[in-house]
Structure 1
Amino acid sequence: MHLETPENKSALSEINGINQPDSISDAVAKQIQQFRRKQPSANELITRIIKGDKIALSRAITLIESTNIKHLEKANEVIQGCLPYANNSVRIGITGVPGVGKSTFIEAFGKHLTSLGKKVAVLAVDPSSSISHGSILGDKTRMEELVKDENAFIRPSASGDSLGGVARKTREAIILCEACGFDTIIIETVGVGQSETAVHSMVDFFLLLKIAGAGDELQGIKRGIMEMADTIVINKADGDNISKAKLAKTEFNRALHLFPAKKSGWIPKVTTCSAITKEGINDVWKIISDYFDLAKENQYFQNKRQEQNQFWMMETINEQLKTHFYNHPDIISLLEQNKKAVQNNEISPFAAAKILLENYYK
């Protein structure tokens, strides 16, 4: 028998390598696994959220996003329990057309805020396909630095069939994030349709992101989105695009003079920045801070929050009525029958709707 010695040992033989250090302790890993396996009670979720537990926060948001009517009562209990700890933040809505660099801007802006000691929660709404109803939910991938920040929380949600692409439960998610200790809430819209209108009704400050040199300047004349914007930021103001960004800033400043004064007494500002080089990011935060100083001093901040609460009460009633209607046992079977009848022109859509509603209110 041939014995291997250090001198004649085969290069193919294995040797003991260096053990990789544990990235997480066994105790913590076991705790996380146990928490994920079981369904925590509403009180347990509330307690963990108030203590700043991001895992509990994520699970609670998943709960309120559920379309299962059985989850509604538990979700409402969690929201109610967190409400006394909410409303201690500033809420910033950020919108812009696809390709304007929203995710890159939010990462640079968020990192700047965390460097100032802020705790930032980003609620990013991803568009859902009208065909497959799927959503990529890739915002965490595009914000790879911010997602690793201990003082940041990023939650992508599918827009589903909600108005303009704003996730149906974004408003409730804001409350949970505030209760978890996040003092700056950023809501990113899909940037298409009527999402701007919905986001405007749930934030304190509305930021419109633009780019120069893409024919985008002409959009400054359109009233809808411009009237809602509290500031306009020309992104990608770097390299050869700096001069174009400055020109766009002048054009947008002229356009803003065409609109009536805001109830807040605030005069919308236009500025430029580069999310890549971080140039101008601090100026954006300075403008937002100036707005909050003014709005809180003249009581507009609090008055707007009160109006928004009333608006969302009515929206919640509408949403829950809709959810309850479509999950009603009698309606589920009757709906399919009437769908086929409408498709075959056996009954008008209006008559079918009347039949369904009459059966629902029996």
Structure 2
Amino acid sequence: MSDKLKIGISIGDVNGIGLEVIIKTLADARILDYCTPIVYGHTKVASFHRKALDMGEFSFNVINSPAEVQGKRANMINCWEEDVKIELGETTETGGKYAFLSLERATNDLIAGQIDALVTAPINKHNIQSESFHFPGHTEYLQERAGGQDSLMFLVSEDLRVGVVTGHVPVTEIASKISQESIISKLKLMNDSLKKDFWVRKPKIAVLGLNPHAGDNGLIGNEEQTTIIPAIEQAKASGLLVMGPYAADGFFANGAYKNFDAVLAMYHDQGLIPFKHIAFENGVNFTAGLNIVRTSPDHGTAYDIAGKNLASEISFREAMFAAMHIVKNRRESAELTENTLAFGKLSRDRD
């Protein structure tokens, strides 16, 4: 039995670039030296995309469950039987329906422990909405499925790690959703993830302000004085190494982020715009704070280039390696903790 990790992959919107970046990643057989990939979708849909990419030599090994994987092949589980109408570059109900069927089946296997991690290709957050999926995005869906009280949208790369207090919420609601409690919760999740998932011994975290110039001492908004600074002080009192609040523009422009292990932004675009600029194609979206491991590329469905063989697979490949890295770090951390506890018990017994 192979000891390689089983990495599940959901295909995302069938009309986007999800299957393109998946196939391009898995077509490089070197990935099979590190993991056993299992794609949740359908061979007919994959064949359509393969032909669009003119990759005639590539094929999947079809299985019914993760227990049947072949370690030297890219595997696929067919999640439906009917034919699917693919309209590359279009936003359709079909795209959302089959994105969800793929995600649901993969998540079921992830929670059941049949796969070690999940890498999700991009969905369209509008057309995937249904009675079964009523979430702003993957992060919130997986948090509920995994039974988590909270989670952190954590964008990671070699050069920068950024988390957000508020994720997929309208700009008009951001300020009302930021509280001392929410900031402290995200800081604790970030700190724990840096230690457990990335093996940062003593994480140093920067916190951004909400308002321009971090409020300018109350001249441009008072959330820094009433909410963010008290949260930082409370986090420091609990033992976290946290600094701020920093004005976002200058913080990224002058390279101050290089002095920290991670940055907590107040809202989605405040953190993701500089992250995507700095990380270029290497960024990965990681859902931190859950007992499962899920990563994704840091781009969307890219309908405008779907089917044109223009999509780069770099971010998706990085997401696969990040998932493997995090799973192994967690297991080694758990083993180290178990050994430490066992040694402590042995010492006490001898005393």
Q: TM-score, normalised by structure 2?
A: 0.28
Higher strand proportion: 2
Q: Which has the higher contact order (CA 8 A, sep 6+)?
A: 2
Q: Which structure has the highest helix share of the two?
A: 1
Larger Rg: 1
Task: Report the TM-score when normalising by structure 1.
Answer: 0.27
